[in-house]
Structure 1
């Protein structure tokens, strides 16, 4: 059963915590500690709802009367450097009159990582207060270390991962402990009040609990017989987060290893796997620590009876609500692979990759959030909001922002990615997509404080900030000074619009003046007549800088031909920064070249049918599921099909297709204002655009000026360079030499343009 985060429940959110943090007396807070907690409670009358607030470090599984209620609850710590998240779960549907048993299994990572800040203590806080019922964690609960769980022997996962590889010994398992009170659990002690260190202030979980797809058969199973071990190679339908499952009745003491194809790939930087030791009789095992990959391997002693195997997919609770279709199957497949890559990089946070690091590198998240607006249902916005709030929530006392966060073993300022996050394509784009003014207001001062650390030259450009990790992109010929200049302009552009939206007129005026000074200084200092280059930079001309300058708006239209000529020659950007190259070519009005370059760059990974996801770099030597590579997804929906917000929350949006050499394409955009549909078909003489505009919105339609006449639902509205007045449309500001633009209200519309 899928459970969603329960928000806005007045009784639960207004109630003070009464529960105590508890742990077994014997617990010593060792890494990879597993603890079982249990409590029997009497219920006279089952309420309509009973909200349990549950906090742990690090993960938990909840049963009520033996029925699983939550699989892998809890979020990696934390919202800031000190605090902890808690979940809200309605347990009323699982309660019954009379005696009830609450059982919680806690997995304490006990290690810092690139996505987790360990509290240093394993504990449980369980607080359910509803009229007639109080279920509170205290010393009356039973609790024991679950010694069936231990850490699998070396090789251990690399230092970026806070999770351990799990070994489960079924011979030591207290089977049925969740409901069988004959199985004695040890004594619990109360160790802290709610809100005290080391967990500190408790913040309600801002994203849904995971979507559970249920136990499922593998697509295919291949059995390989060896001299000492046999193996099942099990194929998944696509790259996914899975918890492998098995069932067997072999003799006790048999060791079964479980891992994915990613484990075999990363032998140098080891990742997670699992081991299972069989007990007596028929038994089932599901590995609670999720893995990901395209294949799952079960390795067991030669001659052992083949186990029955399945898997459970879990993932972020959002639907694939967006669509893209195209007459060219290459771009359709690229969009689909990008969507799968995005989804496999979403869980507690946006991730760079789901196996090696699981880290929220914030530049990756900029690209991922943009893709999520076009492909996923709007519950994905909760993860975007969480990311932005965490970046600022982890701000250092000296004002620095850094990534990845949350993290317990990383503190370096990654200035380029941070500037991307807080700027026009990060925070401001989030506001345009969602209309969430509260988050914009809450983060403004922290962003302003960070930008105050930067200094400018006399000409308005940026004094190069060495920081702690001056990274611009993977690959060669990175003109880092120019990149940081243009990314700072990008941050200021976002802040200028943010100040306007928040009514901070003095700030908005200051940011606007800085932008004006920067544009002149940047072009005087970095433009050499043919391209943007830092004086003294000796590498090849950086395609990233040209693209960023064009797409962010520092380059004037007079420079577009030279920039395009440079982009025909220079190919240095990684898939991460290539997103801006694609976008810049559309912004400058070169859709044919944009599509040509996308195909040239991405064709090897799109055609590689071994993977349903996109590589980290231009070959498969690194990770093969890196969502920073999915920039083509939003470019195809936003520019090729032309759907983008003009006002916050899509109150006004545009559909301005740039078809290039594509004859037919369509997209479905699950915007916060409602579902937007757009499809076009192009012949040698006619362009047909069909659109669906949600209620209470206005759409600006743009048609290329190369057509002689335009009709709306069969009625001529434009001919020979002039609009023909009609009540079915409104005219838009005609300040665009490339497109004829007009507005329509909610409804279904067909636009035809003829040469």
Structure 2
């Protein structure tokens, strides 16, 4: 057995063959390790080589807390250690890997730039001579800080399926700007920010001296946008620019000679790369006004900075420093800038790169579409002949490759190319009719610089996308592309659940819901495979329910639930994404975690889990109740989020939907405590829930409007916003009773036009729960057809994060949503099975099951719901005549099946039992 873990990630090879990759995300104090049975792969009587590629992020993000780079591994058999990491191991920096490659996003680590000419070929093979490699440094034994506890991996290994593209969408001759750079401004301006992932703000400028040999037009490009007051050239603020937001392009007619360019970078920065580019027909050079360290830029400032933690009010960054205000006009030249010399700093070379794939793809100074030669298609076909890419005398060759569906995993290729040929890869999720939705805020790219001849490469960085821009630059001869593919990597699931009915649109919606859920199942549930890859706690409650019906997996759910209390060292209110270095709390996300804990214990009948998690639930509820103010309502600062729509949910004050979900969390905690054998401990919570519900009805109901207000602001101003979100939650959580419940039930079918409407599929999940409770399944189907039908209309293979109903949801008319693959949006995967097929858990652990079909306007439906202890419930129903339903149920013989049919419908019921 080989046991291994690393900070931050590893790829493991045995005798040159990849064995696996890991570890799963961890809190450093509880570092997970992986175990591989390698006995069958060892070569008896021969030299065997263990080789590990270790990737250390070096910065904290939303799924990693910064530690020291390190590897620990052991090979053992029969209790005897055969090998273990120590000073006898050899180590070397990966040749050709450029550690100043662009930061992908605040949520993630780094894209990669690799020069294969410097790679040690066959370094993982037994025959490789590592004699010149230095010995590794042993830094300590297992249990040293910060990895104080090593824990065995708690879920199966992820899949790696080699999938080929579906088509080549286009071939173009393209050009990139003459100069393009990616900058890590956050860590340049606030170096200590590598240790956390909180937003920071800073006040200052980036400066460069642009020297033109002759006069001419120059375009300054900002493919990811600009901040602050904008761009100053020779002391003049530039007010005219072009570009669809966030892009900005300033076209200037400049004289020969030197020009000082100042870019105001003042503002908030959560992390990621900023992109700066220049293009001109005139020859130009750049130099830094801070001296020559190889980087032609300098920064000025920071004149002030601040850190923004957990959406709490704090000291605001000051932007009235006299030097900051005066500098642009007072320093129109590099010489004049010397008066501000104490503020001017060289740009750290490790935070700067001119290998800017994102900027060169977003800003193409030429894009000339060409027909795709038949021979090029060989690159995506299983044939021995390669795809031969054309060479353009003036320009680069760009392929746009369609995988056919959204994918998540590791890009790989094999090709023949001249040495020095550049291969740029850039993944996006959505294209249509000439529009490309660029991944602003995500540098979803890599650059591979070829050595001579035939070679292959697999990126070690996970990416999510559907369309891949593959651009060949600087090749002196045609590149032969033998294959391009993705190793799709997800949690290992079998397609145990199913749903089909008489409506093809609903069937397609169920399928994209399943595919979305799968792509968002990694070592935890993640919100999306492209932009973030982050385990958001609240999202996972709904994702777990969908998973129960489409895949039936339980280990990943329990792992997610167990990770959350690890954030108690940061806050007893628990973080909204874990494990994370962003100190952010969304109270609703903690409440959803409590609901998910109860639902998991009920779904599985796992009382051991309930007993283990109950103290953590009790702990956080106790601390949330400490934020009940004198009015009797939850009143706290935090990220008080529920939906992207423009509801009134300030980050300070009394937010109604938050109070409502606290009521439900307190009530659900009683059932969880009962399963844990500690029912009496939750009695006080149940009593507090009833008191809180009474106060909500007394304070937050508006009798004139016949609705609950959205909030009471910190200044005690009552909100004048009324939203469907708040009414739905009041109904769903059982706080609206009697006449008020009836009023809101009417709103479910006829939402008042003046109310803010639902803006995301995430909120639709709660809306569908409310419709199910009200017995209004027909409205649910109408809503699914309308909103998910819109996604399918635009060729969606996965569910969108948002509905394109509000200006807040998009920055231009073509951008229908931010993320095109978001598991919080996969509600139909759950409700079509639970509500329309009609399969619901009765007693905990599915000891009983309730079958209650809701045909609505359908003529037939069939499907399978997997069970947590193994086996399944299979149901099919169809109308054999008007008002008569034929129903067949297949279930384990140890489960009690309760059947109920809609009022006015007769049934012919057949039940088949089997042994499990």
Residue 124 and residue 304 in structure 1: after superposition, are their counterparts in 2 closer, same or farther (change >3 A)? farther
In the alignment, structure 1 residue 555 sits paired with structure 2 residue 555: no
Partner Cα separation in structure 1 for residue 591 and residue 52 of structure 2? 42
Instruction: Give the CA deviation at 1:314.
Output: 1.9
Instruction: Give the CA deviation at 1:692.
Output: 0.9
Residue 666 and residue 555 in structure 1: after superposition, are their counterparts in 2 closer, same or farther (change >3 A)? farther
Instruction: Give the CA deviation at 1:396.
Output: 3.2
Alignment of 1:11-30 (within 5 A): none
Query: 2:792 matched to which residue of 1?
Result: 606
Instruction: Give the CA deviation at 1:266.
Output: 4.0
Residue 237 and residue 461 in structure 1: after superposition, are their counterparts in 2 closer, same or farther (change >3 A)? farther
Instruction: Assess if the C-alpha contact under 8 Å between 2:415 and 2:481 holds in 1.
Output: yes
In the alignment, structure 1 residue 475 sits paired with structure 2 residue 650: no
Partner Cα separation in structure 2 for residue 103 and residue 289 of structure 1? 18
Instruction: Assess if the C-alpha contact under 8 Å between 1:698 and 1:746 holds in 2.
Output: no
Query: 1:74 matched to which residue of 2?
Result: 23
Instruction: Give the CA deviation at 1:710.
Output: 4.7
Residue 575 and residue 662 in structure 1: after superposition, are their counterparts in 2 closer, same or farther (change >3 A)? same
Alignment of 1:349-748 (within 5 A): 349-378=524-553, 381-396=554-569, 399-408=572-581, 410-423=582-595, 426-455=596-625, 463-478=633-648, 481-528=655-702, 530-533=706-709, 537-556=718-737, 559-567=740-748, 568-569=750-751, 570=755, 571-609=757-795, 611-619=796-804, 620-673=816-869, 674-682=871-879, 683-707=881-905, 710-713=907-910, 746-747=913-914
Backbone CA RMSD of aligned residues: 2.6
Instruction: Give the CA deviation at 1:153.
Output: 4.6
Instruction: Give the CA deviation at 1:187.
Output: 0.9
Partner Cα separation in structure 1 for residue 83 and residue 606 of structure 2? 36
Instruction: Give the CA deviation at 1:456.
Output: 8.1
Instruction: Assess if the C-alpha contact under 8 Å between 2:701 and 2:708 holds in 1.
Output: yes
The structure that has the greater radius of gyration is 2
SS of 2:821's equivalent in the other structure is coil
Alignment of 1:226-375 (within 5 A): 226=173, 227-262=394-429, 265-301=437-473, 304-311=478-485, 312-375=487-550
How many residues of Structure 1 are paired with residues of Structure 2 in the alignment? 655
Residue 343 and residue 712 in structure 1: after superposition, are their counterparts in 2 closer, same or farther (change >3 A)? closer
Partner Cα separation in structure 2 for residue 258 and residue 96 of structure 1? 37
Instruction: Give the CA deviation at 1:401.
Output: 0.9
Instruction: Assess if the C-alpha contact under 8 Å between 2:633 and 2:696 holds in 1.
Output: no
Instruction: Assess if the C-alpha contact under 8 Å between 1:67 and 1:94 holds in 2.
Output: no
In the alignment, structure 1 residue 57 sits paired with structure 2 residue 29: no
Partner Cα separation in structure 1 for residue 403 and residue 827 of structure 2? 25
User: Which of 125, 133, 139 is the aligned partner of 1:191?
Assistant: 139
Query: 2:248 matched to which residue of 1?
Result: none
Instruction: Assess if the C-alpha contact under 8 Å between 1:460 and 1:521 holds in 2.
Output: no
Partner Cα separation in structure 2 for residue 437 and residue 175 of structure 1? 53
Deviations 1:65-124 (A, max 9, x none): 233221x22123x2x363311111111111132232222221222221111112132333
Instruction: Give the CA deviation at 1:254.
Output: 0.8
Deviations 1:725-744 (A, max 9, x none): xxxxxxxxxxxxxxxxxxx7
Instruction: Give the CA deviation at 1:695.
Output: 3.6
Partner Cα separation in structure 1 for residue 632 and residue 890 of structure 2? 44
SS of 2:123's equivalent in the other structure is coil
Instruction: Assess if the C-alpha contact under 8 Å between 1:58 and 1:75 holds in 2.
Output: no
Unaligned runs of 5+ residues in structure 2 are 174-393, 431-435, 805-815
Residue 505 and residue 269 in structure 1: after superposition, are their counterparts in 2 closer, same or farther (change >3 A)? closer
Instruction: Give the CA deviation at 1:646.
Output: 1.8
SS of 1:299's equivalent in the other structure is strand
Deviations 1:596-636 (A, max 9, x none): 23333333113221x31111111323111111111222111
Query: 1:30 matched to which residue of 2?
Result: none
SS of 1:221's equivalent in the other structure is strand
Query: 1:174 matched to which residue of 2?
Result: 120
Deviations 1:458-496 (A, max 9, x none): 999852332332223211124662201111011112211
Instruction: Give the CA deviation at 1:152.
Output: 6.6
Instruction: Assess if the C-alpha contact under 8 Å between 1:531 and 1:541 holds in 2.
Output: yes
SS of 2:877's equivalent in the other structure is strand
Instruction: Give the CA deviation at 1:528.
Output: 4.5
Instruction: Assess if the C-alpha contact under 8 Å between 1:129 and 1:135 holds in 2.
Output: no
Residue 189 and residue 398 in structure 1: after superposition, are their counterparts in 2 closer, same or farther (change >3 A)? closer
Deviations 1:422-446 (A, max 9, x none): 12xx111111222222222222112
TM-score scaled to structure 2, two decimals?
A: 0.68
Query: 2:245 matched to which residue of 1?
Result: none
TM-score scaled to structure 1, two decimals?
A: 0.82
Unaligned runs of 5+ residues in structure 1 are 1-50, 714-743, 749-755
Residue 359 and residue 621 in structure 1: after superposition, are their counterparts in 2 closer, same or farther (change >3 A)? same
Residue 576 and residue 478 in structure 1: after superposition, are their counterparts in 2 closer, same or farther (change >3 A)? farther
SS of 1:236's equivalent in the other structure is strand
